[in-house]
Chains A and B, each alone.
Chain A
């Protein structure tokens, strides 16, 4: 039996509109959120980290870092944080007691990452961050070691494990 659309709308139009009212804000909110992951990595030439909680970095991220012009032989993961960003405000992600990042979605797969050390802005990076892409901010640490803060979409995280 063929039900005319007009009659269906007359009978169920209120419910359809109510569903639209409920769904619109939810869809709009979901549409712009992105799931990212950030890692704090300690770089050194030593074979082992003095901190037993540090895990040697392996997988795709380790290969990528070893292909970069960095002087370090080994990389140890200090902390990993998964988080969700949006285009309305910066999301703060604590990487260590002294270091945190703020990340905001700029749309069209672009993000802004602000790196803070001791509460001061150390670096701001605006870059595209599509699937498979990685943003790394790095610097020297004491005794010839280094630190890295690596940000990437969560799809990359699955491959990196």
Chain B
């Protein structure tokens, strides 16, 4: 007897076979002693399970038992939503090395940009005009470590009509 016949016997016992196959299996149980023996064993086992199954009683009513499960599911869903929408410091505690590194990089970038003018346009650099040197001369004394720039135009006074300097 192969497995397929065993399964058909089980299905026949459970009343799950179509009428045509049920007739074939019924004929088999009458003609084949092995099939008949297995069928009888299955009937005995089924009867034993039905008659001796333990009955479990719930400590509370059915409605209250399922309402507890429902409340637990709702509470778990609401907790998940709160975690997803909250801005707590949990993420900061977990990822502080990454955030600290990024913050240091940003600070160094800002410091470098402000101190070394990384992002300033080259066109904004000052251009020294050679015309600045017109009307002036420079004397350098290495011994005294002094650079003297003589400016012929007066920064504090202007000449009047007679050529006199006035304050």
Q: Contact check: which of B112, B139, B141, B166 meets A142 at CB < 8 Å?
A: B166
Contacts of A112 in B (CB 8 A): 126
Say whether A35 faces chain B, with CB atoms less than 8 Å apart.
no
Q: Contact check: which of B96, B104, B111, B156 meets A147 at CB < 8 Å?
A: B156
A126, B128: Cβ atoms closer than 8 Å: yes
B157, A138: Cβ atoms closer than 8 Å: no
B108, A118: Cβ atoms closer than 8 Å: no
The CA-CA distance from A96 to B126 in the complex, in Å, is: 26
Say whether A82 faces chain B, with CB atoms less than 8 Å apart.
no
CB distance from B37 to the nearest CB of A (A): 72
B141, A141: Cβ atoms closer than 8 Å: no
Say whether A110 faces chain B, with CB atoms less than 8 Å apart.
no
Contacts of B97 in A (CB 8 A): 13
Q: Contact check: which of A25, A63, A126, A136 meets B148 at CB < 8 Å?
A: A136
Total residues of chain A contacting the partner, CB 8 A: 48
Total residues of chain B contacting the partner, CB 8 A: 40
Say whether B153 faces chain A, with CB atoms less than 8 Å apart.
yes
CB distance from A25 to the nearest CB of B (A): 6
The answer to whether A17 and B104 touch (CB under 8 A), given A135-B149, A139-B152, A142-B165, is yes
Say whether A28 faces chain B, with CB atoms less than 8 Å apart.
yes
B114, A138: Cβ atoms closer than 8 Å: no
Say whether B150 faces chain A, with CB atoms less than 8 Å apart.
yes
The answer to whether A134 and B114 touch (CB under 8 A), given A13-B97, A123-B151, A139-B154, is no
B147, A134: Cβ atoms closer than 8 Å: yes
B146, A136: Cβ atoms closer than 8 Å: yes
